Structure 1
Amino acid sequence: MSGIFNCDNTVTIIGAKKRKFADNKCPNIFPMKRIYPLLIGVLSFGVLSCEKKETPYPIPDRPASSDSMKEAMVELGADYKTQVYFSFENGVVKSLPYETWDINFTTDASDNELRVNGGKLNLIYVTDATRMSEISSSYTINSAKWKYDKPSGLSQTSGLGVLNNSAILGKVLIVQVGADKSYKLIIKDVSPTAYTIATTKGLDDNTETEFVLEKDPNYNFIYFSFEDGIVTVEPPKKDWDIVFTRYRYIYEKYNPDGSDFLYGVTGVLHNPYNTMSAGDSLRTHDFYTFTKDSLDQHMELQTNRDVIGWNWKSVDINTAKYKVNSKMVYVVKDQKDILWKLHFYGYTNDAGQNGYPKFRYEKLK
């Protein structure tokens, strides 16, 4: 026997007449405690059977590169005074003020060059004098003949060129340091193992101090300060991959008179020792999906030290804060022939101060 409980306190027996029960009571064959669960079950089945089945939304896969990807922030400071050497294997190797040095000399046995600190906007001038006493602060300088180095850092791109048997040897050189200091310098001798130089404390000082700068092949350069003498700046050349620093960029023949426009920038240079880098100035790329195939198709590894450079960031003139283009991807091939990809995603610290580059990097697959 089966039946349906009605809203008017009656029960319709299938195949029989409707019967009514007083006091909202049902006969024992249909006790309420049995009917309610039955109704709930039926209604639930009806609701569930009418609902549209949903396909579970798949959780997106984590980018394949995330497992080995690393993040770093280097501290240049709000005034950009700090120079930071960085290794992809070991992180920050060394930090020091970029103004520590004025000039440097290469340590190669045959490729002898002098470079000035472009971050300080230093310049060098070649005079015809051979004695310090011939030059003073009253000496007339032709401003068009100041020399400076190209930011690529390649051999023979220094302002003075290769010094081997050069006519520059023995001449009095004027080195302008920053905007308000100048010193006299004579390169007396260049050999496979050392440089011999003489300096004074200013243009009106004729007291020479001689220094022998011995070449150490474990380093790329010998650094020199006119105030402090020989200074240690970079780590051993096998210990680092890139350096965050202040240097000079050149807009060639940009000025109305056809001269170069010299511009001080803060950016990234790669290690000149057995290191190369690549970037794409025409296209943007997604860091996470960038592969060796992307490198082969769109980039070319170069020895120019300033490939990464400085224009991965730009200033927002409304906020005076830097904006970073995270779609600019770079590749560095280190001394072990390992390829690393990197991109920048920030330039401020938690306090909102500029001068704190943030970047992601990992081995290129």
Structure 2
Amino acid sequence: MRATALLPLSILLLSGCIKDELPVPARPRGEAAQVQLCMGSGYQDQLWVDISSRTVVRSNPKTAWDLAFESGPDQWRVWLNGSRLMTAWSIGPGDITVAMDTAGMAQGRRIDAPSGHPDSTAIGDWRGAQDIHLIDLGYNAFGAHLGVRKLQLLEVTATSYTFRTALLDGSGMQEHTLSKSGSSASTMFSFASGTEDVEPSAGSWDMVFTQYTHQFHEPFIPYIVTGVLTPPGVRVARIVAADMATVSLSDTLQHPFSTARDAIGFDWKTYSFDDGAYTVDPSIVYIIHDAQGLFHKLHFLDFYDDLGTVGCPTWEVREL
């Protein structure tokens, strides 16, 4: 079988329309199902999946949003859209309308940890500082750089964020008040269009098939990969060299659950430069404790459809 691993920065997504899809009734417990999803040309879509119904509850182009603001009343963190290799660089307090350059940004910029660890965001704890952050917007579907914007976070309350944005030369300054979503864990914002309704409501999805930025260490470089991320509240146990048929919930005694956002991640597949093809490892099995409190086991079977189109993962899932 074939599948995929890493993607170079030049492989980026095409735009499309955000769309909701009606879920179908969940299958009876214990019944296995094979599911295939296609992420579009150039891995253009982010696919938000409810594992119980085995359906995509929403999809959007990865270019639909830039920043994700946490929605909880006590929350304040701001995340980047890692599917485009976005980075952030804090340059301290100042006047956002003053022209700036990017000298030193290559050394100082940061990415969000792919694990989603709350203490490892690119922007960090901004409260009370009113620092200016240079936000590299990453790359579009055709490999063109999307530019740099300035962001100055001013205030967060139980219900909203207040912040300023501007172009790098200081022009186009706007002050925004972003209301926190009452239903989803994050509220998305686009520098081009403002608030965007992207993330489905909390509890309605368990996995998102997407590109994201992973930090490699040999060599030390952030890189775009294609895989699966999970939301807060979903736990994943990973079992390697396993037989899907015999994996049971008791295996989590030796393979404990993780709440890391990239616990499923991208490395259930590898790429052969010799063959120019991708291979899935079906012996990697995941036990997923979903947003509804149910347990499932899942493994991947392929990353191509019957026509050989890449970016169409096939996975088998069974409720435990």
Q: Where does residue 292 of structure 1 map in the other structure?
A: 249
> Shift of the alpha carbon at 1:142?
4.3
Counterpart AA for 1:303: T
- Contact 1:154–1:303 (Cα < 8 Å) also in 2: no
Q: Where does residue 234 of structure 1 map in the other structure?
A: 199
* Aligned-partner Cα distance in 1 for 2:291–2:306: 34
- Contact 1:242–1:269 (Cα < 8 Å) also in 2: yes
Query: Where is the strand percentage greater, Structure 1 or Structure 2?
Result: 2
| 2:66 is the alignment partner of 1:102 | yes
Q: Which residue, 162, 171, 184 being the options, matches 1:206?
A: 171
- Contact 2:97–2:173 (Cα < 8 Å) also in 1: no
* Aligned-partner Cα distance in 1 for 2:102–2:312: 43
Farther off after superposition, 342-351 or 153-162: 153-162
* 1:95-174 equivalence runs, <5 A: 95-136=59-100, 138=101, 140-165=103-128, 167=129, 170-174=130-134
| 2:214 is the alignment partner of 1:249 | yes
Q: Where does residue 32 of structure 2 map in the other structure?
A: 69
* Aligned-partner Cα distance in 1 for 2:213–2:108: 17
| 2:286 is the alignment partner of 1:321 | no
* Aligned-partner Cα distance in 2 for 1:199–1:125: 14
Aligned length: 286
Unaligned runs of 5+ in 2: 1-27, 140-144
Counterpart AA for 1:313: K
Distance 1:67-1:217 versus aligned 2 partners, 3 A rule: closer
* Aligned-partner Cα distance in 1 for 2:125–2:168: 25
Counterpart AA for 2:52: E
Q: Where does residue 276 of structure 1 map in the other structure?
A: 235
Counterpart AA for 2:237: A
> Shift of the alpha carbon at 1:245?
0.5
| 2:42 is the alignment partner of 1:82 | no
> Shift of the alpha carbon at 1:321?
2.2
SS of the equivalent of 2:203 reads helix
Counterpart AA for 1:96: N
- Percent identical across equivalent pairs? 27
Unaligned runs of 5+ in 1: 1-64
Counterpart AA for 1:291: S
Query: Where is the helix percentage greater, Structure 1 or Structure 2?
Result: 1
Q: Where does residue 309 of structure 1 map in the other structure?
A: 265
* Aligned-partner Cα distance in 2 for 1:195–1:75: 35
Give TM-score, length-normalised by structure 1. Answer: 0.74
CA RMSD of superposed structures (Å): 1.9
Distance 1:222-1:334 versus aligned 2 partners, 3 A rule: same
Give TM-score, length-normalised by structure 2. Answer: 0.84
* Aligned-partner Cα distance in 1 for 2:85–2:102: 21
User: Over alpha carbons, which structure has the higher Rg?
Assistant: 1
Counterpart AA for 1:203: L
- Contact 2:162–2:175 (Cα < 8 Å) also in 1: yes
